[in-house]
Amino acid sequence: MTNDHKNILKGLESADSIKVIETLEELRASGKVSDIPVLIELLHLSQNPEIKAKISGLFATLKESDAVPLIIDAIQNQKYAPELKELVSSCWENGLDYSNYLSLFVGLLIENDFLVAFEAYTVIVNMTAKIDQEKIDIEIDRLEAAMRTTTDQKKELMLDVVDFLPSIGF
């Protein structure tokens, strides 16, 4: 990592929220995938709604597929449960390929409150990559089992996903 980039990242540690926000703006242009864990931690620790919104905005515009495992790791980390909705929504907003994680998103749809479930649903129905039919069938079975014990609101989402999944199977 160049010293310039290290200096930019130092701005994220500032107690001055204006400085942090300026740094986030700078990262929009010069950020690297390796910055993602630092940004996730800041999203977690910051109480400032503007800083949180800027970080979510950065994640929503990610274009490097190397970012996918880093976002997935954060989604799976209990420590970042308070940020789950933002992290999951960034997955459909950035349009990267999360099809290898279909099972994770189905789990999020089944196990979480409606807000997180809706974000997971949106990730799933925006998947375009083809997924092995066997995996699709497993997830459809999971959803059908979960529909028996969930809220009507979430049941609607699950029914949509059950209808959608065969279209990306092969």
Look up residue 136 and give its amino acid. I
Q: pLDDT (tens digit, 9 = 90+) per residue, 5-16?
A: 888 889 999 999
What does the pLDDT read at residue 6?
Answer: 86
Per cent of the chain over pLDDT 70 is: 99
For the chain, the farthest-separated pair of C-alpha atoms sits apart, in whole angstroms, at: 56
Average pLDDT score over residue span 48-75: 96
Q: What is the pLDDT of residue 7?
A: 86
Average pLDDT for 70-90: 98
Q: How confident is the model at residue 52 (pLDDT cuts 50, 70, 90)?
A: very high
- pTM confidence score: 0.94
| Contacts of range 132-136, beta carbons closer than 8 Å, 24 or more positions apart | 132/169, 132/170, 133/169, 133/170, 135/102, 135/103, 136/102, 136/165, 136/166, 136/168, 136/169
Using pLDDT thresholds of 50, 70 and 90, give the confidence band for residue 2: low
Who has greater pLDDT, 131 or 4?
A: 131
Residue pLDDT, tens place only, 112-166: 999 999 999 999 999 999 999 999 999 999 999 999 999 999 999 999 999 999 9
How many CB atoms sit inside 10 A of residue 141's CB? 11
> In the predicted model, is pLDDT for residue 1 greater than 60?
no
Q: What is the average pLDDT value for the chain, to the nearest integer? A: 95
Q: Can you give 90-143 as a three-state secondary structure string?
A: HHHHCCCCCHHHHHHHHHHHHHCCHHHHHHHHHHHHCCCCCECHHHHHHHHHHH
